[in-house]
Structure 1
Amino acid sequence: MFIKINEPEFMIDFKKIDTIVNLLLAERERPLTDNEKSELDAWLKEDAGNQIVFNSLKKEKNIQARLKILDGYDKEKAYSTFVRNIKNERNKKIIRFFRYAALLIPFFLSIYFIYQRLSDIEPEIEMLSDIQPGTSKAVLQLANGSVIDLEKEDKQIKEYDGTVVQNTQNQLIYKPVDKKQEPKKIRYNLIKIPRGGEYQLSLSDGTKVWLNAETILKYPVTFSGKTREIFMEGEAFFEVAKNADWPFIVHTSALKVNVFGTSFNIRAYPDEEASTTTLVSGKVSLIQSGNHKEYNLTPNDQAIVSNLETVIQKVNVNQFIAWKNGRILFEENTLEEVFNNLSRWYDIEVDYTDEEIKNLRFSIDVRRYSEFDELLKIIGLTKKVKFEINGNRVIIKKSK
């Protein structure tokens, strides 16, 4: 049987090609998200030949850069070129191969299209930047009002009640002298994480806290009384020391979270319309400040709290705690959501020349400590947007 590839009846599902090629690219560069894994696994199970294509693309040294050309490329024109060129004598090997591997045609066509191009596409970035990722830095305010720059001070601090505060320049550890003796009056410390910063904290009860950029946490030097209560704005991940008889409570401007030996993430920035509580393990209940309604969460639940309502949904928690694990992870987030997060971590200002591009969606998974230019290259390869850098200001434009 000879395949007449130049006949009108021969149809190529280019959209499917694009989807799978992009997944193959992503698989070569980073761990796939759960949704991406499911889609790729489904495709691999459709036909045995798909596994052959997958293995072939993984072994090809230069295919990664070439395949990126598919995004935004005129595929119908490329197909016409393929049909015309394949008649040439030099392409007879391809014809013979396709006689025996018809099921692989769409994917090898995509490779053929790529190699018709003379050069790789470079992302559209006007001027490279000196913008660097965030580092461990914070400012601590003691109970007496004195302020310590934790990035510069690597030492032990002694609080009024004898509590020893150990600073290791990326973590603050509270060690009460006598856990049995309760202070007569609760005194608070306050830690501030600036833009482009992060820090870790171990509270007097053993609770561990990871603090993201632009976060403020107010907490007792030593917990006492019937409850353990802290106050925050910004974003923090908690691993609460379990004690069923000693409730742990987190206060934000929008809600109160009651915790029962649990790991969870709270995002409550004052400049964002909604705050989120994402539960990884254990159990929490939260009370919305506006309507005083109580909501109970179980693992993988996320509560989105706004002035209008509270919505509970199931989520992939890894996406929302990736920052704590040293990753920048987005799954089909809007460009505006992506850069709202990046602006805090890289300490940048962002301008959009076109309001429409804010709603373009992107999936990204890179190291949290990657250079900013690396992120721009990844986004720029989609050919959807281009960037202009002026100091720490990033101007995002629609690609033409």
Structure 2
Amino acid sequence: MINANIENIIVKFLIKQASASELTELEEWIQDSNNKKLFEEYVKVNYAIEYNMREFDSNKVINELLEAYAREIKQKRSQKLRKLFYYSAAAVLSGVVMTTYFNRMNTDHKPAEVTKVVVNNVINAGTDKAILTLEDGSNVLLEKDKTYEKDNVVSNGKELICKHGNKSNSAVTYNYLTIPRGGQFKLSLSDGTEVWLNSESKLKFPVAFVEGSLRKVELIYGEAFFDVSPSTEHKGAKFKVLNKNQEVEVLGTEFNIKAYKEEENVYTTLVEGKVTVSNAAAKKYLTPNQQSVINLKNRDITIKSIDAYNEVLWTKGIFSFKGRNLKEIMDVMSRWYDVEVVFQKPELEKVKFNGVLSKNDNIKEILKIIKKTNFINDYEIKDRKITIK
């Protein structure tokens, strides 16, 4: 099994974001024959989407990889790194058939004909931005490369920081952080807990916690990843994340909650530690690599085993899609690129993919990659509306 650190480097390697030191670490790790096999299988199963949808030329793929990374390492190590690129390209090439599939609505589905793509405007990827709502109801726009500071909070343009320290009295002041479509932002709470907020999300949080008392925030809607400061550092004070559909209690751990307004389920994924998930109907315990799913219609809580790492890659600037259908993928894209996506045919929503994409990718390039599968006939971009044909 690949450890989380190496898995993270592999993902960054494949989307061209690995540093020279990370490449060196990966290079040394892969010298072991068993690790080499793990690497090849991992790439085949999880991360060939950007390659298997393109026309293949093995030499071209290898050369592109070499050119992209050669500048990041010392010349004296280039010969060893060449082997690493070869392993990656070979694994991708051998995984073409394995990594993309289609759930057919009928048995005689045929590849679509190529037609003209209509693109009327440029749609940029999302960026760091948020709206901070203060206790008095005033709003502050937080944007990339712009700083803000007032009282006990400061922003550097990509993170809002509540200055460390707890209150000694019972008075708690709450602020709100709202992430619009096409945005993302990080929040550091006064107790040291870190929160990553995804597009179209809203969190209610205290500027400072009361010393020794329950630490509590509310995810009003959207998606957030929490790295909670342990209770041992706060006189045993527990940490809770509330949502209108559930309550999550932790002592100190890493977990992700997805509770979008338009979705039928609320998902809580545990990366590390232990949490309880409860609502009016039930209470469940999660261990690492487990996910609770609350059905909002019947309130049932089910538990399933998953690869938690893939669920939180969005915090590292990566879209990870494993067995996701096109409807689910486009829901994610619509929030990040702030667009509307419609399907001309309902069956197109059921096309399924495995793979990884950078959040910095141009939306047109992503659509071109999807079109290469021949399971969609065409797409059209008009204003901020994308039609899948």
TM-score, normalised to structure 2, is 0.69
Tell me the CA shift for residue 253 of structure 1.
1.5
How far 1:288 sits from its partner (Å)?
A: 2.0
1:40, CA displacement in angstroms?
4.8
Residue of structure 2 in register with 1:238 after alignment? 226
Q: String of CA shifts for 1:188-213, please: whole Å, max 9, x gaps.
A: 01010000000000001000000000
Please give the residue correspondences for 1:378-393 in structure 2 after superposition, counting only pairs within 5 Å: 378-385=369-376, 386-393=378-385
Pick closer, same or farther for the CA change 1:58–1:350 going to 2, 3 Å.
closer
CA distance in 2, matches of 1:40, 1:351: 31
| 2:41 corresponding residue in structure 1 | 37
- Post-superposition offset of 1:278: 0.5
Q: Which has the higher contact order (CA 8 A, sep 6+)?
A: 2
Query: Which entry has the higher C-alpha Rg, 1 or 2?
Result: 1
Contact residue 125 and residue 380 of structure 1 kept, 8 A? no
In structure 1, C-alpha distance between the alignment counterparts of 2:206 and 2:314, rounded to whole Å: 26
Amino acid at match of 1:155: Y
Sequence identity percentage: 35
Cα distance change on mapping 1:131 and 1:40 into 2, 3 Å: closer
Give the match for residue 204 of structure 2: 218
User: In the alignment, is residue 273 of structure 1 matched against residue 264 of structure 2?
Assistant: yes
AA of the residue aligned to 1:137:
K
Corresponding residue for residue 286 of structure 2: 297
Q: Kindly indicate whether residue 331 of structure 2 is the aligned counterpart of residue 340 of structure 1.
A: yes
Two-structure CA RMSD over aligned residues (Å)? 2.9
Contact 1:125/1:376, CA 8 A, preserved across alignment? no
| 1:170 counterpart residue number | 158
Q: Give how far 1:154 is off.
A: 1.3
Q: For residue 155 of structure 1, what is the aligned residue in structure 2? A: 148
| Mapped contact 1:350–1:396 kept (Cα < 8 A) | yes
Aligned to 1:101: none
What is aligned with 2:307?
316
How far 1:62 moved relative to its partner? 6.7
**Structure 1 residues 1-400: aligned runs within 5 Å:** 37=41, 40=44, 60-61=59-60, 125-127=117-119, 129-151=121-143, 154-158=147-151, 164-176=152-164, 179=166, 181-224=167-210, 226-232=213-219, 233-244=221-232, 245-289=236-280, 291=281, 293-307=282-296, 308=298, 309-385=300-376, 386-397=378-389
* Of 143-152 and 248-257, the range deviating more from structure 2: 143-152
Residues 315 and 154 of structure 1: CA distance in aligned 2, closer, same or farther (over 3 Å) = same
Shift of 1:221: 1.1
Q: In the superposition, relative to structure 1, how do residues 209 and 362 fare at CA in structure 2: closer, same or farther (>3 Å)? A: same
CA distance in 1 between counterparts of 2:214 and 2:61 reads 60
1:297-338 deviation digits (Å, cap 9, x = unpaired): 000000111132211111011221111111011012111000
Summarize the Cα distance change of 1:30–1:326 in structure 2 as closer, same or farther, 3 Å threshold. Answer: closer
TM value normalised by structure 1: 0.67
Paired residue secondary structure (2:143): coil
Q: What is the deviation of 1:230? A: 0.6
**Secondary structure of the structure 1 residue equivalent to 2:60:** coil
Aligned length: 292
1:246-301: CA deviation from partner (whole Å, max 9, x where unpaired): 10000012100001210010000121000100000011001024x1x110000000
Q: Which runs of 5+ in 2 are unaligned?
A: 1-10, 17-37, 46-55, 65-93, 98-112
